[in-house]
């Protein structure tokens, strides 16, 4: 019963919500265009890539209710493929990124189809297992360069015409990709597909009884999430001209969870805020050295205890308390 | 005798025995994790950090108090267990009504805090902790030289694991505990202090991690990172064994040690990833783990 | 002439000679403050850089030096983005220290086309002066080729000819094993086998068992920091030395020995280019360093930071400029001379050469106190200690 009521409330407020979101997008766009005047552009591009990564992850977690522990696998593998394509095959940036995204989609399809059969923590552990296997592959395969990674990746010329070598030229490109990705996620979430997804998250049994092929929806979401994470990873490879093992390590998977949690699961802008906060903290508090880890730990603890809705969730007074799908004993 | 995959039997037995020794650590750690999850439904990501804490306390005791290893074996698990209880009372208990995810994130944050703080204070190079005199030296078994301390590790961890299993499965206290997790209200109605039982159980689970840490101190460097990479392997062990199953955790722990030992001979680079391959395979065939029951 | 007049004319002439505007130099110490190299480099490297700046007394020479620092956490991506920002946007003239080969290579790329120099002290890869050599990089303290060859050479000179390698399974480990094996085989030795362990790894018992059963006289450890420490401690547990085999650490630093303790590390052969107790020059400097660092003696890489910064500042003064190309040409032109590394020079490929020393770790009985860990076994002269110029495949070298 509860989920239907929520859905109804949701659709009833849609006009308000839509204009609120439109305002949010517009504000973000303005900030993103103006910011490079004040802030170092490469830092901003890093924030954008991670914002896209976190939003992609949020699609699966906040809206799909599935916690994946191995999202770094898609981010990182796309990063390696794009880097290799740009450096060794000399392909133009849009093709390199495209190849990266295709890799992530393929990997997501394989892992997703196997892990979807499980629930809750088991699902998470299967995704972790596959991520570790991807890490192992990245470590051993000669083309990835092991510990050194793929370095000196050329940024190339967009469509073979516009050189992206300078930060100034690259910035609009990254901006376009990030916003494109965010808008795509917004469209997915606020579509009939998205509504069914939320229904599945709230009460899977009921959705099944209504005749929805639940596993199919979950798989599609998984693949979309992986593909968008791959988009973020490929773009990041060009911004930093590097693809390394950090991109596929399980701590990267942990960071994206942190970003989504702080920002607000199940909100559109939450992960953007979370990503901005975490990346800023890592950069500007780098002078604190080892204490950054401790601070991240404290943020985790405080957020989980007091701040579960995340920053954006609290600010927008989100009614839905973010709850992850799993077997809850109380419901039996 | 025959050669296994081109490896002479002596080398093989040596590696398997070494694998068994590693398995002792996996078993003890996953036992603690399985108790905490199986009986309390908390995913304790801080387990690796608590293992590390046990090793550090042993080192503190030796360096600042002059108390040797055998004191540490008793005191460190108790101290770590008490710290676990404090964490449970103050922080973890607030999340019982919510999804597992939050307990996991909370304990992950606690692990980051513990590791980061100790790393800042003690650096990462690792602190030396000598093997206690009575346990040093070794015996030549013919196919390999077995250090006495390693034999001690296997024996002691077996004793601890088996006795814990006996207590949980075969004693009245264990029965109360298992009942309390199935139906806390009903058990409480019988006059049993359920919250106390839960808290103590968490303390025991965490104490087991501390115990494993003391066992590890003389053989691995006592370093703030010692639990960080170990924890995901231990999680994999618990998942393979079946999240709620005590027996599963013990058997899988020793089993994994053996498998890893074998991998080290055949394809050593893969020894760190073999566990995940096995986990993926097991979860596909037996979704609730080898010994798990559908919860 | 009376003293007052003399004094005033000296003072006056100083004021007249001083340049009208001071040169601004900004140094960036990019190091590991929280990971496996924090004790080896870390805060100590920053301290060493400060000492170099203080000893240089720039203000008296019209050069203002500021130091900034950052933690790259041993990750090439973090190192790359910090170096990029420093060099392109914060006006840093030289990036100093940079542990971890992958991070060093990343910084190497950033600095290549920029107006800044890379003074590397802690990174190991010999590719920095080989395939990846850059006109803006100076590689100071050591590299994988030199430690592998010097250790292999010096150990074989003591009569031990058959080797077994335990190698960390990553680029650094492979490189060191490759360089050491090549040396062993071309100099009448035998490599009986090798085994690769995952990086990082905690338990080496099975690898040590295989090394033991190979019967090799020397077990070469092609790994570093905690892997190497664990290998050594577990080796003593398994009675490797009692069984008649020796251990050679292909990359061991003084803080590693301090962490392992003499009980475990005694008898280990290793090669370093600096030790605090070598001579009066090193002793005096090291004592000053230790006083500021709570009694911890410097590692060779921290000494390298001091020496490289000092030489850089001297070159800046001599060329009266902070332009990267000008200064580095000066650095290569001027021979180096400091109390820490003695006399040496920087070659065309950016490689700084100096003597390397083979040490053996003392037994606990032979040591007179904390940090008294090494005995000098042999000295490898500078010309032989490093890879010959023509073997590096460096495009800067005209063959």
- Is A291 in the B-facing interface, judged by CB distances under 8 Å? yes
How many domains in chain B?
Answer: 1
Which chains does C contact via 3+ CB–CB distances below 8 A?
Answer: A, B
CATH number of the domain within which B21 lies: 1.10.3470
Compare CB distances from B102 to A250, A292, A304 and report the shortest one's residue: A304
Q: Is pLDDT above 50 for A5?
A: no
- C298 or B295: which leads in pLDDT: C298
Please report, for chain A, the start and end positions of each structural domain, with discontinuous segments joined by +: 39-250
In what order do the strands lie in the sheet containing C94-97? C63-71, C23-31, C94-97, C117-120, C137-139
Helices A14-34, A2-12: crossing angle, 10 deg rounding:
60
- Predicted-complex ipTM score: 0.80
| A184-212 average pLDDT score | 89
Q: Quick check: B246 pLDDT over 90?
A: no
Question: Residues C108, C118: contact at Cβ < 8 Å?
Answer: yes
**Confidence class for position C222, pLDDT limits 50, 70, 90:** very high
Query: Confidence band (pLDDT; 50, 70, 90) for A223?
Result: very high
- Minimal Cβ distance to B236: which of A118, A125, A298: A125
Residues of A in contact with C69 (CB under 8 A): 287
Do C226 and B229 lie within an 8 Å CB cutoff? no
A255: distance to nearest CA of chain B, Å?
Answer: 11
Average of per-residue pLDDT across A136-144: 87
- Within-domain flag for B134: no
Q: Please state, rounded to an integer, the average pLDDT across all residues of chain B.
A: 85
Q: Which chains touch A (3 or more CB pairs under 8 A)?
A: B, C
What distance in Å separates the CA atoms of residue B35 and residue B47, rounded to the nearest whole number? 12
Domain boundaries, chain C: 23-142+278-354, 145-272+356-385
Q: Is the dihedral of CA A62, A63, A66, A69 positive or negative?
A: negative
Backbone angles phi, psi at C44, to 5 degrees: -60, -35
Tell me which chain C residues have a C-beta less than 8 angstroms from the C-beta of A43: 81, 85
Mean pLDDT score of chain A, rounded to an integer? 84
The reported pLDDT for the residue numbered B2 is 53
CA-wise closest residue to A327 among C207, C28, B288, B164: B288
Give the model's pLDDT for residue B295: 46
Confidence of residue A331 (pLDDT cuts 50, 70, 90): very low
Q: Which pLDDT score, from 0 to 100, does residue A205 have?
A: 87
pLDDT above 90 covers a percentage of chain A that reads: 39
Question: What is the three-state SS of chain B?
Answer: CCCECCECHHHHHHHHHHHHHHHHHHHHHHHHHHHHHHHHCCCCCCHHHHHHHHHHHHHHHHHHCCCCHHHHHHHHHHHHHHHHHHHHHHCHHHHCCCCHHHHHHHHHHHHHHHHHHHHHHHCCCCECCCCCHHHCCEEECCCCEEEHHHHHHHHHHHHHHHHHHHHHHHCHHHHHHHHHHHCHHHHHHCCCCHHHHHHHHHHHHHHHHHHHHHHHCCCCCECCCCCHHHHHHHHHHHHHHCCCCHHHHHHHHHHHHHHHHHHHHHCHHHHHCHHHHHHHHHHHHCCCCCCCCCC
Give me the residue label for tokens 């370095």: A151
Residue A13 has pLDDT above 80, yes or no: no
pLDDT at position A12 is 42
pLDDT category of residue A324 using cuts at 50, 70 and 90: very low
CA C225 to chain centre: 14
Looking at the predicted structure, is the pLDDT value of residue B250 above 50?
yes
Q: What is the mean pLDDT of chain C?
A: 88
User: Quick check: B115 contacting A, CB < 8 Å?
Assistant: yes
With a cut of 60, say whether residue C44 has pLDDT above it.
Answer: yes
Concatenate the DSSP letters of all residues of A142-191 into one string. Answer: GGGTTTT-B-S----EETTTEE--SHHHHHHHHHHHHHHHHHHHHHHHTS
Over residues C122-129, the mean pLDDT reads 88
Q: Do B147 and C238 touch (CB under 8 A)?
A: yes
The pLDDT confidence band at residue B159, using thresholds 50, 70 and 90, is very high
CA–CA min distance B65, chain C (Å): 19
Asked which of A3-7, A71-75, B233-237 is least confident by mean pLDDT, the reply is A3-7
> Would the pLDDT of C10 be above 90?
no
- Residue C7 pLDDT grade (very low, low, confident, very high; cuts 50, 70, 90): low
Of A110, A250, A294, which to mutate for an interface test with B (greatest number of B Cβ within 10 Å)? A294
Q: Which structural domain range is residue B276 located in?
A: 9-119+148-285
Q: Are both C23-142+278-354 and C145-272+356-385 of the same fold?
A: yes
Contacts of A322 in chain B (CB under 8 A): none
User: Across-strand partners of B222?
Assistant: B127
Q: What residues of chain A lie within 8 A of the CB of C76, using their CB?
A: 148-149, 151, 242, 244, 246
Cis peptide before C200 (omega within 30 of 0): yes
Residue B11: pLDDT above 90?
Answer: no
Note the pLDDT of residue A320.
Answer: 47
Just give the CATH number of C23-142+278-354: 3.40.50.2300
Q: What is the pLDDT of residue C4?
A: 60
In a domain, B166, yes or no: yes
Nearest CA to C159 out of C193, C189, C194 is that of C189
- Work out the average pLDDT over C126-143: 91
The model carries a pTM of: 0.83
Tell me how crowded residue A60 is: count the other CB atoms within 10 A of its CB: 27
Q: Would the pLDDT of B93 be above 60?
A: yes
Note which residues in 118-157 of chain B have CB less than 8 A from chain A.
119-120
Query: CA C296, B224, B149: angle at the middle one, nearest 5?
Result: 95
Check residue A7 and give its pLDDT.
Answer: 37
Beta strands in C208-341 (DSSP E): 218-222, 246-249, 269-272, 336-338
Report the CATH superfamily, name and number, of domain C145-272+356-385.
Answer: Response regulator (3.40.50.2300)
pLDDT digits (tens, 9 = 90+) for B96-135: 788 777 888 889 889 989 988 998 788 776 777 888 888 8
Read off the pLDDT of each residue in B158-174 and give the average, rounded to a whole number: 90
For the cut 80, the answer to whether the pLDDT of residue C131 exceeds it is yes
Span C63-70, average pLDDT: 92
């Amino acid at each position: 019963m509860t989920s239907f009521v929520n859905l109804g409330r949701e659709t009833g407020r849609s006009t308000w919500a839509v204009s609120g979101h439109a305002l949010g997008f517009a504000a973000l766009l303005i900030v993103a265009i103006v910011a490079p005047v004040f802030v170092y552009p490469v830092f901003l591009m890093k924030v954008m890539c991670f914002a896209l990564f976190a939003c992609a992850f949020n699609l699966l977690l906040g809206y799909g209710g599935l916690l994946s522990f191995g999202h770094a696998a898609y981010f990182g593998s796309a990063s390696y493929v794009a880097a290799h394509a740009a450096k060794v095959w000399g392909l133009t940036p849009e093709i390199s990124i495209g190849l990266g995204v295709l890799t992530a989609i393929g990997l997501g399809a394989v892992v997703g189809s196997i892990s979807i059969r499980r629930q809750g923590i088991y699902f998470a552990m299967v995704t972790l297992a596959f991520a570790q296997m991807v890490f192992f592959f990245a470590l051993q395969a000669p083309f990835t360069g092991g510990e050194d990674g793929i370095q000196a990746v050329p940024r190339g010329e967009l469509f073979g015409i516009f050189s992206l070598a300078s930060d100034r030229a690259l910035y609009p490109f990254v901006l376009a990709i990030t916003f494109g990705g965010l808008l795509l996620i917004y469209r997915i979430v606020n579509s009939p597909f998205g509504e069914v997804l939320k229904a599945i998250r709230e009460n899977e049994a009921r959705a099944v009884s209504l005749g929805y092929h639940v596993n199919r929806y979950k798989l599609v979401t998984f693949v979309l999430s992986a593909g968008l994470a791959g988009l973020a990873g490929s773009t990041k490879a060009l911004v930093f001209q590097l693809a390394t093992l950090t991109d596929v390590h399980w701590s990267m998977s942990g960071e994206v969870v942190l970003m989504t949690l702080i920002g607000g699961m199940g909100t559109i802008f939450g992960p953007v805020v979370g990503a901005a906060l975490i990346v800023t903290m890592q950069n500007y508090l780098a002078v604190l050295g080892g204490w950054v880890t401790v601070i991240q730990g404290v943020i985790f603890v405080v957020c989980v205890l007091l701040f579960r809705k995340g920053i954006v969730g609290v600010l927008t007074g989100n009614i839905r308390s973010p709850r992850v799908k799993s077997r809850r004993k109380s419901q039996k | 005798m025959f050669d296994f995959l081109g490896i002479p039997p002596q080398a093989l037995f040596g590696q398997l025995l070494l694998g068994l020794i590693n398995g002792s650590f996996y078993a003890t750690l996953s036992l603690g994790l399985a108790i905490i999850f199986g009986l309390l439904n908390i995913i304790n990501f801080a387990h690796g950090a608590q293992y590390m804490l046990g090793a550090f306390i042993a080192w503190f005791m030796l360096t600042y108090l002059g108390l040797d290893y055998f004191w540490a074996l008793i005191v460190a698990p108790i101290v770590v267990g008490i710290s676990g209880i404090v964490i449970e009372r103050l922080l973890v208990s607030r999340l019982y009504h919510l999804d597992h995810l939050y307990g996991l994130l909370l304990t992950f944050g606690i692990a980051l805090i513990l590791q980061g703080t100790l790393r800042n204070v003690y650096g990462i190079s690792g602190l030396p902790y000598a093997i206690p005199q009575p346990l040093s030296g070794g015996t030549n078994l013919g196919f390999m030289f077995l250090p006495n301390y390693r034999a001690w590790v296997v024996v002691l961890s077996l004793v601890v694991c088996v006795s814990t299993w006996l207590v949980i499965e075969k004693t009245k206290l264990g029965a109360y505990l298992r009942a309390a997790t199935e139906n806390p209200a009903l058990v409480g109605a019988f006059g049993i202090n359920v919250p106390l039982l839960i808290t103590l159980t968490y303390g025991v689970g965490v104490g087991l991690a501390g115990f494993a840490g003391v066992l590890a101190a003389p053989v691995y460097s006592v370093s703030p990172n010692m639990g960080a990479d170990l924890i995901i392997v231990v999680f994999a062990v618990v998942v393979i064994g079946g999240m709620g199953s005590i027996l599963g955790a013990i058997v899988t722990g020793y089993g994994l040690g053996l498998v890893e030992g074998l991998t080290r001979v055949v394809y050593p680079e893969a020894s760190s990833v073999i566990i995940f391959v096995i986990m993926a395979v097991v979860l596909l065939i037996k979704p609730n783990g080898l010994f798990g029951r559908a919860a | 002439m009376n003293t007052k007049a003399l004094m005033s004319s000296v003072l006056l002439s100083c004021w007249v000679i001083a340049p009208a505007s001071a040169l601004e130099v900004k140094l960036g110490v990019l190091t590991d403050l929280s990971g496996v190299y924090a004790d080896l480099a870390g805060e100590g490297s920053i301290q060493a850089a400060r000492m170099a700046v203080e000893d240089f007394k720039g203000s008296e020479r019209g050069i203002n030096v500021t130091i900034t620092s950052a933690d790259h956490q041993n990750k090439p991506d973090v190192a790359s983005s910090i170096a990029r920002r420093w060099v392109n946007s914060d006006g840093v003239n030289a990036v100093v220290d940079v542990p971890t080969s992958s991070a060093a290579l990343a910084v190497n790329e950033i600095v290549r086309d920029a107006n800044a120099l890379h003074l590397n002290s802690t990174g190991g890869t010999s590719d920095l002066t080989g395939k990846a050599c850059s006109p803006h990089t100076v590689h100071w303290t050591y590299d994988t080729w030199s430690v592998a060859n010097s250790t292999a050479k010096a150990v074989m000179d003591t009569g031990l000819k058959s080797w077994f390698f335990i190698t960390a399974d990553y680029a650094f480990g492979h490189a060191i094993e490759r360089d050491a094996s090549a040396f062993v085989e071309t100099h009448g030795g035998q490599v009986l086998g090798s085994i690769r362990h995952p990086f990082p790894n905690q338990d080496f018992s099975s690898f040590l068992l295989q090394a033991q059963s190979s019967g090799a006289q020397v077990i070469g450890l092609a790994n570093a920091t905690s892997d190497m420490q664990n290998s050594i401690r577990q080796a003593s547990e398994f009675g490797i030395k009692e069984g008649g085999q020796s251990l050679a650490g292909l990359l061991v630093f003084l803080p590693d020995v301090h962490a392992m303790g003499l009980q475990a590390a005694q008898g280990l052969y290793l090669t370093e280019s600096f030790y605090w107790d070598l001579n009066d020059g090193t002793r005096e400097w090291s004592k000053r360093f230790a006083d500021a660092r709570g009694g911890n003696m410097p590692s060779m890489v921290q000494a390298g930071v001091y020496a490289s910064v000092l030489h850089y500042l001297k070159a800046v003064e001599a060329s009266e400029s902070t332009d990267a190309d000008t200064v580095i040409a000066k650095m290569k032109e001027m021979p180096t001379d400091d109390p820490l590394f003695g006399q040496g020079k920087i070659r065309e490929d950016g490689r700084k050469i100096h003597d390397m020393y083979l040490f053996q770790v003392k037994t606990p009985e032979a040591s007179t106190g904390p940090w008294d860990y090494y005995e000098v076994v042999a000295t490898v002269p500078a010309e032989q200690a490093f890879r010959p110029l023509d073997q590096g495949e460096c495009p800067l070298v005209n063959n």
